[in-house]
């Protein structure tokens, strides 16, 4: 449960960021799933299995803010004594003021990715949630997030057995602006510089979409 920062040029280890508990509240090993730099490179965010978010100052390694998104963690205390979910993705807005995190809502059968795809957005400096999206049509994990260069919308991608791409309009607190199915569970995506195309990779496939309007 440690995020390590290195100087990319020299290879020197700069900081070990330790702000996440080693175990879940149910006394099982936890996991760090994702990290993301802010556009300025001055902050980095880390997210974990139980929905904890920590924002750090890159220069000093100091902890700046913590937030919680517990709806992304499901624990089954009876049938399997096992958990599923966690925050799997994070992305700062282009101005660095907002932090989006993605995961999956509560699951009835923890053997399947049956929870609704879930995205939460925070004003990380105020440590307050500003947006919450978790009632859409798609199920599964939000594996990757990408912001429009001007912050006009946020794209989320992931999947369960199949895959999907969801666009959120930040003018609305809930609901998606547009949904697209994908031919595979998406694990990573990249947005073109002009925000007119998205590339996504997943199980054995590379897919691209053209974005208009």
194 or 102: whose pLDDT is higher?
Answer: 102
- Give residue-wise pLDDT tens across range 112-132: 677 899 999 999 999 999 999
Q: In whole angstroms, what is the distance from residue 189 CA to residue 146 CA?
A: 8
What would the 3-class secondary structure string for 9-77 be? CCCCEEEEECCCCCECCCCCECCEEEEEECCCCCEEEEEECCCEEEEEECCCCCEEEEEECHHHEEEEC
Quick one: average pLDDT of 6-24?
Answer: 96
**What's this model's pTM, rounded to 2 decimal places?**
0.93
Considering the segment(s) 16-210 as one domain, its CATH architecture is 7 Propeller (2.130)
Q: Are 34 and 87 in contact, with CB atoms under 8 Å apart?
A: yes
Find, among 24, 28, 26, the residue nearest to 52 by Cα. 24
Averaged pLDDT, 146-171: 91
Residue-level pLDDT at 133? 92
Q: What is the mean pLDDT of the chain?
A: 91
154 vs 2, 3, 5, 39, 76, CA distance in Å? Answer: 28, 25, 27, 15, 31
Phi, psi of 115 (to 5 degrees): -85, 155
Q: What is the DSSP letter of 193?
A: T
Note the pLDDT tens digit of each residue in 33-57.
999 999 999 999 999 999 999 999 9
pLDDT of residue 156: 96
Length of the chain: 213
53-76: pLDDT as tens digits: 999 999 999 999 999 999 999 887
The C-alpha torsion from 149 through 71 and 74 to 31, rounded to 10°, is 50
Write the burial class of residue 88 (CB in 10 Å: 0-12 exposed, 13-18 middle, 19+ buried).
buried
Q: At 188, phi and psi to the nearest 5?
A: -155, 150
pLDDT of 81 above 80: no
pLDDT at 57: 98
Q: What is the pLDDT of residue 72?
A: 93
Domain boundaries, the chain: 16-210
Q: What pLDDT, on a 0 to 100 scale, did the predictor assign at position 79?
A: 64
Burial class from Cβ neighbours inside 10 Å (0-12, 13-18, 19+) for residue 74 reads buried
pLDDT at residue 27, as a whole number: 87
Asked if residue 174 has pLDDT above 60, the reply is no
CA nearest to 72, candidates 88, 91, 56: 88
Average pLDDT over residues 165-184: 81
> Percentage of residues in the chain with pLDDT exceeding 90?
73
Number of DSSP helices (H) and strands (E) in the chain, helices first: 0, 19
On the question of pLDDT at 169 being above 80, the answer is yes
Is the confidence at residue 173, as pLDDT, over 80? no
Residue 176 has pLDDT above 70, yes or no: no
Q: Assess whether pLDDT exceeds 90 at residue 88.
A: yes
Sign (positive/negative) of CA torsion 135, 138, 140, 142? negative
């Amino acid at each position: 449960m440690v995020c390590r920062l290195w100087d990319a040029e020299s290879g020197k280890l700069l900081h070990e960021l330790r702000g996440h508990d080693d175990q879940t509240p149910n006394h099982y090993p936890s996991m760090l799933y994702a990290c993301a730099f802010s556009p300025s490179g001055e902050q980095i965010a880390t997210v974990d299995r139980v929905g904890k978010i920590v924002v750090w100052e890159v220069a000093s390694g100091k902890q700046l803010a913590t937030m919680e998104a517990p709806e992304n963690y499901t624990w089954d205390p009876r049938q399997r004594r096992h958990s599923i979910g966690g925050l799997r993705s994070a992305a700062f807005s282009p101005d660095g003021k907002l932090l989006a995190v993605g995961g999956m809502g509560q699951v009835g059968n923890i053997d399947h990715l049956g929870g609704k795809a879930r995205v939460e957005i925070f004003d990380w400096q105020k440590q307050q949630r500003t947006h919450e999206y978790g009632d859409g049509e798609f199920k599964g994990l939000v594996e990757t997030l990408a912001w429009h260069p001007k912050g006009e919308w946020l794209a989320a991608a992931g999947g369960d057995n199949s895959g999907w791409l969801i666009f959120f309009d930040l003018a609305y607190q809930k609901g998606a602006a547009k949904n697209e199915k994908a031919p595979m569970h998406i694990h990573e995506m990249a947005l073109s510089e002009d925000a007119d195309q998205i590339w996504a990779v997943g199980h054995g496939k590379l897919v691209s979409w053209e974005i208009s309007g």
